[in-house]
């Protein structure tokens, strides 16, 4: 049997899988359909394109599960993390990335790798033999989606996430807005002033909620359900859940002081985060939406400071294709019915750039080890990687399976530590210490080289 690994999809997961397998000595072919075949969300033909937010979220590897995943990927020489670090933008405690140079660097590194070939073709059938990873993401093309559904005997589930709008900086009224990270978090002045804040008083907030509730929204097609993933709720859905919900979510006013009116506490604050290195674009944090375009621009212009805003991109809704992994995949991420095919990335039911890249990293290593005839020990469940793969391939309830972000709720408890909010700092530190040790040990088992 051929020793070449074929990867369908060169997004976050496919790019990382290719890098890992190639670095272990395996010949890899990436089949990426862009730019020949487009998706509605990608703009370029680059590999590893970030389609919406430019954030890899928290970079805190001691107190945050996604920060821990960053740490584990860096320890495994991950390409996605290396390029994210190279193109980092100031964003308080978060890892924000300059998206175009990031994707260009990911692409260049893969193209330059002697073991990797990139073919721009759309795959529409399930491969009959060989070694394959399918990493086609939430926007898997229709032909391949149908082939997968036919094989699995179950419809790939579909639900909707929503995209946040992006505003041109020079259209923002800085006599009303100001730059500050919440609680002035960050070590440098750039970090401490990474966010742009727009304050609202009570009347402005109430009028804004009324407008959100009344706005024209995009209708769902027949057979689609508004089954949102809770971490990515559209703002109008949050407003429907209660008039105060946004004030306790993305519009919370805490940790911020308005220098234009230092004695007046804002009732709510809309935050925008820098979206490119030039500082010309800002995205409205947490403002995913399914309002129609006309409604969006009039509602968002009610935000003080954004009265004359120009939008580089308005928000939208999108499809998300994912498998019922707990029933369909084994603990090596192989399709039970055709074990020569692995799945990786968002299509396995993880959510987010970081989690998708992480599952690509694992799939690449697992596939490489199998091709070399040197199977790996199980991924340690105490690592963030292990917690996530365990959840999607078995830990989750299959009947109610929904895409999952990495979080400490997926980790086994550390014995003898205090529960509740008070013990949280010690508990999270114990989780992350334990995870790092387990992950380091697992990586140390992999002194592999390709059998020639």
Kindly list the residues in this chain that would bind ligand FAD in the complex (CB under 6 A). 8-14, 31-34, 39, 41-42, 51-53, 122-123, 135-141, 144, 161, 163, 318, 345-347, 352-353, 356
CB of 110 to ligand FAD, least distance (A): 12
CB of 46 to ligand FAD, least distance (A): 9
CB of 11 to ligand FAD, least distance (A): 2
179 is in an annotated binding site: no
CB of 210 to ligand FAD, least distance (A): 27
11 is in an annotated binding site: yes
Q: Between 271 and 346, name the residue whose CB sits nearer to ligand FAD.
A: 346
Q: Two tokens at 170?
A: 């020079």
CB of 162 to ligand FAD, least distance (A): 8
14 is in an annotated binding site: yes
Q: Between 10 and 364, name the residue whose CB sits nearer to ligand FAD.
A: 10
Query: DSSP letters along 303-367, please?
Result: STT-TT--EEE--EEEEEEE--HHHHB-TTSEETTEEEEEE-GGGGTB-SHHHHHHHHHHHHHHH
Q: Between 258 and 346, name the residue whose CB sits nearer to ligand FAD.
A: 346
13 is in an annotated binding site: yes
CB of 41 to ligand FAD, least distance (A): 4
**405 φ, ψ to 5°?**
-85, 155
419 is in an annotated binding site: no
Q: Between 122 and 201, name the residue whose CB sits nearer to ligand FAD.
A: 122
**Cβ contact 124:89 at 8 Å:** no
Which residue has the closest beta carbon to ligand FAD?
11
Q: Between 159 and 442, name the residue whose CB sits nearer to ligand FAD.
A: 159
10 is in an annotated binding site: yes
Q: Between 197 and 356, name the residue whose CB sits nearer to ligand FAD.
A: 356
CB of 141 to ligand FAD, least distance (A): 4
Q: Between 152 and 258, name the residue whose CB sits nearer to ligand FAD.
A: 152
Q: Between 55 and 258, name the residue whose CB sits nearer to ligand FAD.
A: 55
CB of 402 to ligand FAD, least distance (A): 14
CB of 203 to ligand FAD, least distance (A): 32
Q: Between 92 and 199, name the residue whose CB sits nearer to ligand FAD.
A: 92
Binding-site residue set for FAD? 9-14
Residues annotated in a binding site: 9-14
């Amino acid at each position: 049997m051929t020793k070449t690994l074929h990867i369908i999809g060169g997004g976050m997961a496919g790019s990382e899988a290719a890098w890992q397998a190639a670095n272990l000595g395996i010949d890899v072919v990436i089949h990426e359909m862009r730019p020949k075949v487009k998706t509605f969300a990608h703009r370029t033909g680059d590999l590893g394109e970030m389609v919406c937010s430019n954030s890899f979220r928290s970079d805190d590897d001691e107190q945050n599960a996604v920060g821990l995943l960053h740490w584990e990927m860096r320890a495994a020489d991950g390409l996605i993390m290396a390029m994210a670090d190279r193109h980092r933008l100031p964003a308080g405690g978060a890892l924000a990335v300059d998206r175009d140079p990031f994707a260009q660097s990911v692409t260049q590194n893969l193209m330059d790798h002697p073991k990797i070939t990139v073919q721009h073709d759309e795959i529409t059938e399930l491969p009959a033999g060989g070694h394959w990873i399918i990493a086609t993401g939430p926007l898997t093309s229709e032909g391949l989606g149908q082939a997968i559904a036919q094989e699995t005997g179950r419809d790939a589930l579909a639900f909707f996430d929503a995209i946040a709008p992006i505003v041109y900086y020079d259209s923002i009224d800085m006599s009303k807005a100001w730059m500050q990270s919440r609680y002035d978090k960050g070590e440098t002045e750039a970090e401490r002033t990474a966010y742009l804040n727009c304050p609202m008083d009570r009347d402005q907030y109430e009028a804004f909620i009324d407008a959100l509730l009344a706005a024209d929204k995009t209708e769902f097609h027949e057979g689609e359900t508004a089954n949102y993933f809770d971490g990515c709720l559209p703002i109008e859905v949050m407003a429907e859940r209660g008039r105060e919900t946004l004030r306790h979510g993305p519009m919370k006013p805490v940790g911020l002081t308005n220098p234009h009116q230092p004695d007046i506490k804002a009732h709510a604050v809309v935050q925008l985060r820098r979206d490119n290195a030039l500082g010309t674009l800002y995205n409205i944090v947490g403002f995913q939406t399914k309002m129609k375009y006309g409604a969006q621009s009039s509602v968002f212009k009610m935000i003080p400071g954004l009265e004359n805003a120009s939008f580089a991109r308005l928000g939208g809704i999108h499809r998300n294709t994912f498998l019922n992994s707990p029933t369909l995949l084994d603990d090596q991420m192989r399709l039970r019915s055709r074990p020569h095919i692995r799945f990786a990335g968002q299509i396995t039911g993880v959510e987010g750039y970081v989690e998708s890249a992480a599952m690509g990293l694992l799939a690449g290593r697992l596939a490489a080890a199998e091709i070399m005839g040197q199977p790996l020990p199980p991924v340690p469940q105490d690592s963030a990687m292990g917690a996530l793969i365990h959840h999607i391939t078995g830990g989750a309830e299959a009947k109610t399976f929904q895409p999952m972000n990495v979080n400490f709720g997926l980790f086994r408890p550390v014995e003898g530590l205090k529960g509740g909010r008070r013990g949280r700092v010690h508990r999270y530190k114990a989780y992350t210490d334990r995870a790092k040790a387990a992950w380091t040990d697992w990586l140390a088992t992999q002194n592999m080289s390709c059998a020639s």
